[in-house]
Chains A and B, each alone.
Chain A
Amino acid sequence: MNGPPISRGFRGRGRGSDASARVPPGQHLVTDFPVLSAGPTPPADLANWRFAIDDGDSPVGEWSWEQFNALPQTDLTVDIHCVTTWSKLDTSWRGVTIDALLEAAGLAEPPGPFALIHCDGGYTTNVPSEDLVDGKAMIATQFDGEALDPEHGGPARLLVPHLYFWKSAKWVQRIQFLDSEVPGFWEENGYHIYGDPWREQRYDGD
């Protein structure tokens, strides 16, 4: 069987470091924080900011910016992996876990097996509910000890670090729990429905 064509003279720089075991296939490490968004960055408006949880079409919880910041806050240091092939290690976030949000809404568990995340500008992404709980995900409002920059999703973004980073939707406004899986924005546009970086699920069919 033929292997891939060898690029004569190509050496590359990414191998051999202690960190390589933490870098999924096809990814490379960066130290800066690239920005990728499909449209304009929305202006932050904390006075009118709301975050909501819906069970289907029924609201089950809603928080203003003040109320949200009064919820129990959690610090999380995680590696993140963007589908455009950069990975960044040991990123520090603060926010409210989805577990804490569900508890604040009086729910013992997600009201549906699938979640559709809604954001300012109409962007959506889908995540199975089980990937949001047990400390695996949060609504993050701080990065590296500072308020989250608008171009990185501030005032608040979803953080689901074990999936490709497009799932960690910027400018998040609402989590809608559903009985069936509804593909989000990039998922409708050729990207993988689940997006596990360790299985290199970049595109539809991977």
Chain B
Amino acid sequence: MTATEKSTSAPRRLQWMTATVRDVLDETPRVRSLVLDIPGWPGHRAGQHVDVRLTSEDGYQAQRSYSVASPPEAPQVMLTVERLPDGEVSSYLAGDLRVGDSFELRGPIGGYFVWIAALGGPLFLVGGGSGIVPLMAMLRHRAAASSQVAATLLYSSRTAADIIYRSELDRLAGKGDAFRLVHTLTRERPSGWTGLARRIDRAMLAETAFTPEASPRIFICGPTPFVETAATHLRDLGHTAHLIKTERFGPSGR
């Protein structure tokens, strides 16, 4: 990492704020986006995350981290949450929570897995499942900032029904502004599917990534084995380790 990417903000305590749900959007059968009103929200950069804290009626609290899905330019903060089978917090956020409900949140957090348009590109984004969320914030930021930086998203989903933000991604890819969208599905090949249908591998990364000579800024987010695979292949293909930024989540990581 270079000095220009270091956080220069003065130390400040991250205060717990109250987020009120303005809207909920069902993205897929297991994934829901929450559009939040957060008085006092200080703004964020694409790729950062927040800590969410829930309090039950008897005072029990549980805390987890979630990536911000919205770009800095959006009027409201959006989180996108995948409901995990055993998810103490995710099953509430992407299940019981209703418009008008409130919970605590603090952030933004993280100055590393961040892209701002001024950093330039090219930009190579690799997402697995709900690992798309911080990458979507970057793509939304790129669009909102009218950045012409060449960008490619390689996005692995289990099935077509599991693709998060599908229509918005199609719309961004249709603008003809140097954004390339590559889907791959790992558990089905629906009739009429023209995209890739296998787990990410070295050949897929070699074909979709920019060349190492182009020095793309690479952001990889997804489950641990997915991130390990992508990062290792990209390094072996000749991409510089310090340009490869990763964010992983295990079964309990969020």
Does chain A bind chain B? Answer: yes
A residues within 8 Å of B by Cβ?
A: 3-15, 26-28, 30-42, 84-86, 121-122, 151, 185-186, 188-190, 202-206
Residues of B contacting A31 in the complex (Cβ-Cβ under 8 angstroms): 252
A94 to B111, CA, bound (A): 33
Residue of B whose beta carbon sits closest to that of A3: B55
Residues of B contacting A203 in the complex (Cβ-Cβ under 8 angstroms): 13-14, 109
Residues of B contacting A4 in the complex (Cβ-Cβ under 8 angstroms): 16, 53, 55, 61, 104
A34 to B65, CA, bound (A): 14
A11 pairs with B56, CB closer than 8 A: yes
Taking residues whose C-beta sits less than 8 angstroms from the other chain, chain B's interface range is 35 or more
Q: Does B241 contact A (CB under 8 A)?
A: yes
A3 to B103, CA, bound (A): 11
Known pairs A4-B53, A10-B96; A34 contacts B88 (CB<8 A)? no
A205 pairs with B12, CB closer than 8 A: yes
- Interface SS majority for chain B: mixed
A189 to B14, CA, bound (A): 13
Residues of B contacting A9 in the complex (Cβ-Cβ under 8 angstroms): 92, 96
A202: min CB distance to chain B, Å: 8
From A3, A10, A121, A190, B54 is in contact (CB under 8 Å) with A10
Q: Among the listed stretches B117-125, B139-147, B229-237, which one makes contact with chain A, having 4 or more residues with CB under 8 Å of it?
A: B229-237
B53: min CB distance to chain A, Å: 7
Cβ proximity bits B56-91 to A, threshold 8 Å, 1 near / 0 not: 110011111100000000000000000000001000
A126 to B32, CA, bound (A): 38
A35 to B110, CA, bound (A): 17
Residue of B whose beta carbon sits closest to that of A192: B11
Residue of A whose beta carbon sits closest to that of B86: A13
A27 to B252, CA, bound (A): 12
Q: Does B171 contact A (CB under 8 A)?
A: no
From B6, B12, B18, B231, A39 is in contact (CB under 8 Å) with B231
A42 to B250, CA, bound (A): 19
B246 pairs with A14, CB closer than 8 A: no
B88 pairs with A85, CB closer than 8 A: no
A42 to B13, CA, bound (A): 34
B241 pairs with A85, CB closer than 8 A: no
From B92, B111, B248, A189 is in contact (CB under 8 Å) with B111
Residue of B whose beta carbon sits closest to that of A200: B63
Known pairs A4-B16, A39-B244; A189 contacts B6 (CB<8 A)? yes
A86 to B101, CA, bound (A): 26
B234 pairs with A6, CB closer than 8 A: no
Q: Given A10-B92, A39-B244, A84-B253, 16 more contacts at CB 8 Å? A: A3-B55, A5-B102, A7-B56, A10-B55, A14-B62, A26-B63, A35-B248, A35-B250, A35-B253, A36-B248, A40-B234, A40-B244, A121-B242, A185-B1, A190-B7, A203-B14
Residues of B contacting A188 in the complex (Cβ-Cβ under 8 angstroms): 6-7, 111
Residues of B contacting A6 in the complex (Cβ-Cβ under 8 angstroms): 55-57
A51 to B13, CA, bound (A): 36
